[in-house]
Structure 1
Amino acid sequence: MKIANPLCIINMLSCLLIMVRIITWKNNGSRFKPLISFIAWLLLTSCMMLIVSLILGYYRLAESSEVVINIILCIAIFYSSGNIAKLFKKR
């Protein structure tokens, strides 16, 4: 479990922040949307799989483009206060 690559650490931290923000999202009386819930679940499980594979050593090298995508997704989720539906909302 030696994670020395700084890109892997940044990737893991961005995925961890994504997971924490989605889990701590408050519903505040909005209605249940099955498709949005499924997308949130998919995002959570994929972030968890990335973190676990990094810790177990199956995933040794992170590409810089992947890290940038995860950071942008993390910023977007924090900007929408953890509400995945806001990312797909038309204005």
Structure 2
Amino acid sequence: MTAIAVVNAVVCVAICARLLMFRREGARHRPWACWLAYALILASAWAGFEGVVGRAQVGPAGLVINLFLCVAVFRSRGNVCDVLRRPQPYR
């Protein structure tokens, strides 16, 4: 198992955990966002599991993509809609 696979597994588990711990707290319910979050949870959990058992074949590019997704998920506090929302310009 390579170091890239281990780091990728940790990043994927972090994405999965943060999405699982999202709390709406008054935010609007959007069914498409729930399904997207569900798909991201399953995909990141599966990638993390494959990394733990040593079956993952991930390169540096895949790791960078997952790192950017992890940062975006944590900055939005797990809100998938905020990850996809276009940032507003500063005034």
> 2:40 is matched with which residue?
43
Percent identical among aligned pairs is 23
Q: TM-score, normalised by structure 2?
A: 0.86
Select 2:60's aligned residue among 37, 60, 64. Answer: 64
Is contact 2:18–2:74 with CA below 8 Å preserved after alignment? yes
Q: Give the deviation of 1:57 after TM superposition.
A: 3.7
Letter matched to residue 77 of structure 1: V
- Name the aligned partner's letter for residue 54 of structure 1: G
Paired residues for 1:15-34 under 5 Å: 15-34=12-31
- Distance in 1 (alpha carbons) for counterparts of 2:52 and 2:32: 30
Separation of aligned partners in 2, 1:75 and 1:51: 16
Q: What number of residue pairs does the alignment pair up?
A: 87
Deviation of residue 54 (structure 1)? Answer: 2.6
Q: CA RMSD in A?
A: 1.4
Tell me the residue number matched to 2:49. Answer: 52
1:73 counterpart (69, 74, 86): 69
- Residue 10 of structure 1 corresponds to which residue in structure 2? 7
